[in-house]
Structure 1
Amino acid sequence: MAEYLIYFNQQWVGDHSAEWFRGRGPLAAAVVDEIKAAGAYVFAGGLEEDGPVFSADATSGTLTFTDGPYAETKEWLGGLTVVDVADEETARMWAGKIAEACGWPQEVRRFGRQPATR
């Protein structure tokens, strides 16, 4: 089994009416329920656009916290799902279902191997 991150950048969502978004919510929730029923669910959630954003940086040798995004960027993470599945084909399937339910693109990346625990 391997864990895959399925995510989207907020800018990929596009401009839609509140009614359009209300219609997509139940579709996305149904896919998450399907992932849970399949035993592949690890985590899913959307990020708050107006919520707190801060960075922690210790590269200078001193830990500093900065309000706001770390880097100036045109795109930022909007939401994510983590699935634990047997293969890439299954990760693609879940990403496709999420993309269809949400109505915007999803990108998929596999997590690297985790260090062995004692």
Structure 2
Amino acid sequence: MTEYLLYFNQQWVGDHTEEWFRSRAPLAMAAVNEMKAAGVYVFAGGLEEDGPVYSADPTSGTVMVTDGPYVETKEFLGGFAVVDVPDDETATMWAGKLAEACGWPQEVRRFGSQPRIE
């Protein structure tokens, strides 16, 4: 099996009423519960839009930790799920279920192979 990241950028969500968001929550939870029942769920969560954000930048030779994302950032991660499935087709099927439940697009990325630690 292979792990995939299913994710969305906050900017893809769009402007909706609080009522609309509340109506999507049970659908999103149903999709996550379906993943759990199918045995493919690894982890999922939405990120706080107004919560603290930190950046760690080692490019100066010393790690500099600052508040907030880089100024150049136009999009930021809104939420994600990690699934462990056999192939791209199955990963995109789960992304489609999440997209339909949430009401906004999802992207799918396969995790690279883990380095061997000996």
Per-residue Cα deviation, 1:44-91 (whole angstroms, up to 9, x for no partner): 000001101011111221111111102422211100000000111110
Give 1:1-118 correspondences, 5 Å limit: 1-118=1-118
For the Cα contact (< 8 Å) 1:54–1:70, is it kept in 2? Answer: no
Q: Matches of 1:20 and 1:36 in 2, distance apart? A: 25
Q: Matches of 1:2 and 1:70 in 2, distance apart? A: 31
For the Cα contact (< 8 Å) 1:57–1:64, is it kept in 2? Answer: yes
Q: Which amino acid aligns with 1:4?
A: Y
How much identity, in percent, do the aligned residues show? 76
SS in 1 for 2:97: helix
Q: Give the structure-1-normalised TM-score.
A: 0.96
Q: How many residues align?
A: 118
For the Cα contact (< 8 Å) 1:28–1:102, is it kept in 2? Answer: yes
Q: Give the structure-2-normalised TM-score.
A: 0.96
Structure 1 segments of 4 or more deviating over 3 A?
none
Structure 2 gap ranges (5+):
none
SS in 2 for 1:51: coil
Per-residue Cα deviation, 1:1-27 (whole angstroms, up to 9, x for no partner): 111000001111111110000000010
Q: Matches of 1:117 and 1:29 in 2, distance apart? A: 36
Q: Matches of 1:113 and 1:79 in 2, distance apart? A: 23
Structure 1 gap ranges (5+):
none
